[in-house]
Structure 1
Amino acid sequence: MNILVWNEFRHEKENEVVSDIYPNGIHGAIAGFLEGEGHQVKTATLDEEEHGLTEDVLAETDVLLWWGHKAHDEVNDEIAEKVKQRVLDGMGLVVLHSAHFSKVFKKLMGTTCDLKWREADEKERLWVVDPSHPITEGLGQYIELEKEEMYGEHFDIPAPDELLFVSWFEGGEVFRSGATFRRGRGKIFYFRPGHETYPTYHNEEVQKVIQNGVKWAYNQGTPKHVYGNAQPLENISEK
């Protein structure tokens, strides 16, 4: 499987707390545990030419993981549209944490993707609400994170095809933290935890979810449909 991990790579350069937690960048940390699964993993960042998302790179990518936060508006509209089209054509997409506000995710959802948020070092408990799903395989009843950023409802997304996780936060809010969608021939998994100032991507259960999500999003030969005017398959009798 050819995997591409995309990250703005801005916080790590500007915030010592973040760089201490992720010395190789958030993308580097995620790529590291995915490489351990035996995949071919590459990374790309915002400040690279074409954001590292050239047509050749996208064409060879089976699953793209996207982390963004403070520079969504700096993503070129044409490149975001190319990524959207690749998803429609069958590339898997795993959208992480604050990438809910990315141009790519909003284009695919068709909504604002807005939500409530708060940074207060509070506990998060992600409850598994679909234990039969491949993405939740190998987990217990919940994942507990000692500190995370709060995201709260209402989350302005379309009704998910499948809801996998619901989070409870120490301050009282709840949130749909793991959801899947299908768009065209592509599969999309949104997974909420991953604020940059917490070591969330070093958590083995979070890593397990992302590993499972990549496997689920991988397109293994979904038929490519032909649209437009169609000739009949059978003889049509004259009336």
Structure 2
Amino acid sequence: MSNPIRVTVWNEFRHEKSHEEVKKIYPDGMHVVIGNALKERGFDVGSATLDEPEHGLTQAVLDATDVLVWWGHMAHREVQDEIVERVQERVLAGMGLIVLHSGHHSKIFKKLMGTSCSLRWREAGENERIWVIQPGHPIAEGLPEYIDIPQVEMYGEHFDIPTPDELVFVSWFKG
């Protein structure tokens, strides 16, 4: 049996401390909820947060990480450039990086993309349909033809990133 994929979930851990509504939903932090969901699926999961020494992303932690999940929204500027360099080196050496939500404005995402990473968005509470356009791709394994999300923020074009090597999913929004 192969070893489980080692995932580190990184979170600013700020909204959970400063917004009561978020604190009620994620009292221990979003990173804990995301991590628990991954653990239930057999992943070996650790976590790190912005206020830890070295933002929890020491060289030892990154060396023991196959995939880094990054959640950022309000404190992008607080991430130390030295840590961004460290994460970039690991990504270029093969570590996976999954950037969630407003992480498109994180220092690490901008550094890796080499662009502004700006995009259009709106909060209209509309539904999103995510189409699987490469059902044979490993990341889409076991997924249905599409996934409906009943109420989301809309993120759309133009998204200032390099042309992707592959498209596995595309989204459609009602508006």
* Aligned position for 1:117: 121
Once residues 69 and 8 of structure 1 are traced to their aligned partners in structure 2, the CA distance between those partners, rounded to angstroms, is: 8
Gaps of 5+ in 2: none
* Aligned position for 2:74: 70
Equivalent pairs counted in the alignment come to: 171
4+ runs deviating over 6 angstroms: none
Aligned pair partner of 1:130 in 105, 127, 134: 134
Trace 1:2-81 onto structure 2 (pairs within 5 A).
2-81=6-85
Q: Could you give the per-residue CA deviations for residues 96-139 of structure 1, whole angstroms, max 9, x where no partner exists?
A: 12111111111111111110111122111111111111111111
* Aligned position for 1:101: 105
Gaps of 5+ in 1: 172-239
User: Alpha-carbon deviation of 1:11?
Assistant: 1.1
* Aligned residue identity for 2:144: G
User: Alpha-carbon deviation of 1:163?
Assistant: 0.8
Q: Could you give the per-residue CA deviations for residues 39-97 of structure 1, whole angstroms, max 9, x where no partner exists?
A: 22111111111110111111111111101011111100111011000111121111112
* Aligned residue identity for 1:67: W
Task: Report % sequence identity.
Answer: 64
Q: Could you give the per-residue CA deviations for residues 7-41 of structure 1, whole angstroms, max 9, x where no partner exists?
A: 11111112222223323321111100111122221
Trace 1:190-205 onto structure 2 (pairs within 5 A).
none
Once residues 149 and 87 of structure 2 are traced to their aligned partners in structure 1, the CA distance between those partners, rounded to angstroms, is: 31
* Aligned residue identity for 1:107: K
Once residues 20 and 135 of structure 1 are traced to their aligned partners in structure 2, the CA distance between those partners, rounded to angstroms, is: 32
* Aligned residue identity for 1:96: L
* Aligned position for 2:173: 169
Once residues 140 and 6 of structure 2 are traced to their aligned partners in structure 1, the CA distance between those partners, rounded to angstroms, is: 22
Once residues 108 and 151 of structure 1 are traced to their aligned partners in structure 2, the CA distance between those partners, rounded to angstroms, is: 20
Trace 1:148-159 onto structure 2 (pairs within 5 A).
148-159=152-163
- Backbone CA RMSD of aligned residues: 1.2
Q: Could you give the per-residue CA deviations for residues 140-174 of structure 1, whole angstroms, max 9, x where no partner exists?
A: 11111111111110011101111111111122xxx
Aligned pair partner of 2:144 in 140, 147, 150: 140
Once residues 109 and 115 of structure 1 are traced to their aligned partners in structure 2, the CA distance between those partners, rounded to angstroms, is: 13
Once residues 129 and 42 of structure 2 are traced to their aligned partners in structure 1, the CA distance between those partners, rounded to angstroms, is: 30
Once residues 112 and 67 of structure 1 are traced to their aligned partners in structure 2, the CA distance between those partners, rounded to angstroms, is: 18
SS of the aligned residue for 1:31 comes to helix
Trace 1:188-227 onto structure 2 (pairs within 5 A).
none
Once residues 131 and 101 of structure 1 are traced to their aligned partners in structure 2, the CA distance between those partners, rounded to angstroms, is: 29
CA distance 1:120–1:17, shift in 2 (3 Å): farther
**Taking structure 2 as the reference length, what is the TM-score of the superposition?**
0.92
